[in-house]
Structure formats: structure tokens, C-alpha cells
Amino acid sequence: MRSYSLRILANNQAGTWPSWPEKIAAIKAFYAPVCELAITLTPTTLTPQFAPYAPISGSANTYVVGQGWYEANVVPLADGADFVMFVVPPTDHPNIITFIGFEVYQQVKIGKTTVFSNETDHTYVNGNVDQGETAVVYATHELSHLFYAMLAKTDNTHLYFFAGTPEKVLPDFDFDETLLSAFQQLVAALEEELGLLKARQISPTDEPATPPQPIHNDVTATPAPKPTPSTFPSKILAWAQIIGKEEGANPSLDNPGDLKLSDLTKSWGAIQGFAATDGGFLAKFPTEQMGEIALCDFLVLGCQDQLLAFHSPEARTLTGFTKIFAGNPPQTYTDAIVAAMGGDPTIQISTFLS
């Protein structure tokens, strides 16, 4: 069985949590069927610098720990581990909104994650099903993203975690020896090339390196498009279908939900389409199926309350969500959506995941 080392850097208040032994045991136990995690906990007293990462809606921004700051202050403390996880409590960012987590995977360097959580919160799915401690759920969530990236597989983290069945990621982590061998050969080749460059005394300022690009962010980003929409709950599929009918989107965009171009839709394969009448641009997807999947993914995130613009209590109902989604549409639009979804305008959209 493969073994990996994880260094958890618990910052400020997070470093004082007495429940860390139980949390670490739970993280290890989650991955025990597929790999062994050697986890080391290190309390830190850093002052994170935050950077906005793409507007989710309107002028609102959500923040992550700045990558430059992370590289300079967090990575050196990883002490040669395979993965580092920087745990940031709410007291470190009292006045800004953060994602639930963030991860960056690099083939040569360390796999890096951030988790934003307090000690005692729990995470719920399908409206009221307790999935467990937020810190543990987010930690396994972010590590799963890293494992998918390392194995170069379609990332099903959101598909399974947001459905309340996170254990379904485990069969995907076969850690194929052939793939890992190829990865190790690539690392060796890159390290050899780096040695040659150093021998030639090439200054690193001669050709600036491209900074590592985030694989995803956990409020807006979702997994790579899935091969078919059949894995979505039936109510999500029905909801997406009636939205597509009412939106009447330009078919050349393959975007039945008229979703805007954003980092979220770009992560699903979108490129810039036509200018939107209310600002910004509409997303254009490579295929009709990818556009349908993107709409379903968006609705799932909405049901899980993972979209900033839909956090209000009113937006948790079908009518409230529809008004924000479609920008106060005609009453006929809203009525058609409600009728197709059972006739109750106040139904909680979280129930559509069951």
C-alpha cells in the first residue's frame, strides 16, 4: 500500500484545538483503504496575506491565501512532506469571505492545500444530513482533489462529497504503479534539467517562471466535466431541463442555462461567448453536453449553499433562487419553473439532491 506524508500547519487559534488527535485519526481512517497517511501536526503563528480569487457574482469577491505569501511562508515549513495543509481559522480573516478550501498540485514540488474552518462546526448535506466535522470533511475534500490531480484522473471530488457519499472517491485512487513510475521519471528528468541550468549559471530572472496555477477553488470550482449527466439526481436534471427551456439560450453557445463566463465556468471548459446584456460575457461550451453538465453542476452547488450570491434564506427556496439566477425574470418564467418542480414555490432547493 502506498504511503504519503502530510504536514498540517495549524495556524494561530487552530493550533490550540485539543481535538486534533481525533481529527487526524479520522483523516487517516478515511484514506486507510487505499493508502497510508503519515500526518504531522505543527502549530504556527503566521499572519496570512489574502488575495481575491475571482468575483463570484457582481462585485463580491471571495479570498484565498495569497500564493506568493504561501510559497514564501508556508511551503518552507512543510519539511519535505508530500503534501502540506495550512489550516486557517475564522479568527484569521474576520472581515473577509473565504472559500471552504483551496489546493494547488505541482508535479515536482509539494502538493499544497488550504482549509478554512473552525474546530467544532459540522458540515451538512441534502439539507440536514450531518456529514461530520467541517475540518475533517474539508481536509479529506482537499486531499481528494490532490489525489485526483496526481493520478491525472477526472476529478469527482465534488460529485461525491456534495452528494454526501465522499467514500465513493476511494475506488478512484488506485495509485497505479505504472503511472507513478512515469511520474517519478518525469521528476527525475526535470531535476536533471534544473541541475544543468544551474551549472550554466542561468539567472532565474532571465526568464520568469510561470507561477503555479490553482487547480480549483472550492466555492466556485467544480470537477472536470463528467462523461454523461446521468449521475445527477433526477430533480436536478428536471430543473436544468426547464431552465434551459425558459432561458431560450442561443444554441451556438451550447450553454442552456445562459451561465456567465467566470473562473467557475472556465473550469468546466467554457470560453468567452457573446457580451451579456447585464454586463460581462456569456459562457460558450465546446459541446451541448458539456453545457448541460455545467448547468447541473451549478444547480448542485446552489443546493449545497456553495454559491455566494445564493446564501440568503430567501435564496434557499425555489422562487428565491430563480429570481437571483434569472435576474428577476417575468412571472411566467418563475411560474413555469415552480410548476415543473412540483408546484411549491417555497420548497427548499436542498431537497432536490435527494
Would you place residue 276 in the very low, low, confident or very high pLDDT band (cuts 50, 70, 90)?
confident
Lookup: cell for 320: 428565491
CA distance 260 to 275: 9
Write the single-letter amino acid at 343.
G
In order of start, what are the domains of the chain with their CATH numbers? 2-177 (3.40.390), 225-353 (no CATH)
Please tell me the least confidently modeled range out of 104-108, 313-317, 334-338.
Answer: 104-108
Per-residue confidence (pLDDT) for residue 10, from 0 to 100: 97
Least trusted range by pLDDT, from 2-6, 26-30, 238-242, 274-278: 274-278
Mean pLDDT of the chain: 81
Query: 0.85 cut: is pTM over it?
Result: no
Confirm if 31 and 37 have CB atoms less than 8 A apart. Answer: yes
List pLDDT tens digits, range 190-199.
656 565 555 5
* Separation of alpha carbons 346 and 343, rounded Å: 9
Could you report the per-residue pLDDT of 215-242, keeping only the tens digit for each? Answer: 444 444 334 444 345 568 889 999 999 9
Mean pLDDT of 271-291: 85
For 231-236, the CB contacts below 8 A with 24+ separation are: 231/159, 232/296, 232/300, 233/163, 233/352, 233/353, 233/354, 235/341, 235/351, 235/352, 235/353, 235/354, 236/296, 236/299, 236/300, 236/303, 236/352, 236/353
What confidence score (pLDDT) does residue 224 get? Answer: 40
105 against 337, higher pLDDT: 337
The H-assigned helical ranges of 151-270 are 157-161, 177-199, 234-247, 263-267
In the chain, % of residues over pLDDT 90: 40
What is d(CA 280, CA 260) in angstroms, rounded to the nearest whole number?
7
pLDDT for res 187: 58
Is residue 9 scored above 90 in pLDDT? yes
